[in-house]
Structure 1
């Protein structure tokens, strides 16, 4: 995957995760992209531990993995802030 694919997938995954967690109003474009990229790494690590595959390219499976990882990342950040 190229850098443009990472940015697009990360942006979509971060945006979906912020909608799921209710933080969409506080997050901008760059926060969504950063959350999605870091979340995809976290999600890929977790899915690999469970025996699945992580981010495999620009497809729906990778979007699911990145979104799950982003939701976990946002949950961790919210828990630390409280």
Structure 2
């Protein structure tokens, strides 16, 4: 699958992952798209290299979409955890002064 197809897949996967991940959505659409593309690439890499799934070759293949959405969801969860800690840490320090 070409890089343009992975980018398109990542954009859609980022939106789907954003709907699936619980919690407050503090990021905008640009961050969602970037995390979706990176998650699709990460999911595709993990599926082919680590899990040895050979079906990650077609754009319309279900395993391709599942791997891309799971990769995007993992990155989105990680992003929310990191950003959530930063924002709560700043609020906590300002309240103590």
- Please report the TM-score for the alignment, with normalisation by the length of structure 2: 0.65
Alpha-carbon separation, structure 1, partners of 2:70 and 2:63: 11
Structure (1 or 2) with the larger CA radius of gyration: 2
Q: CA RMSD in A?
A: 2.4
Aligned residues: 81
Matches within 5 A, 1:6-45: 6-22=6-22, 25-45=25-45
Residues 13-36 of structure 1 show CA distances to partners (whole Å, capped at 9, x for unaligned) of: 000100011368544443332122
Residues 42-74 of structure 1 show CA distances to partners (whole Å, capped at 9, x for unaligned) of: 112222312224742312321111100001111
- Structure 1: runs of 5 or more not aligned: none
- Please report the TM-score for the alignment, with normalisation by the length of structure 1: 0.74
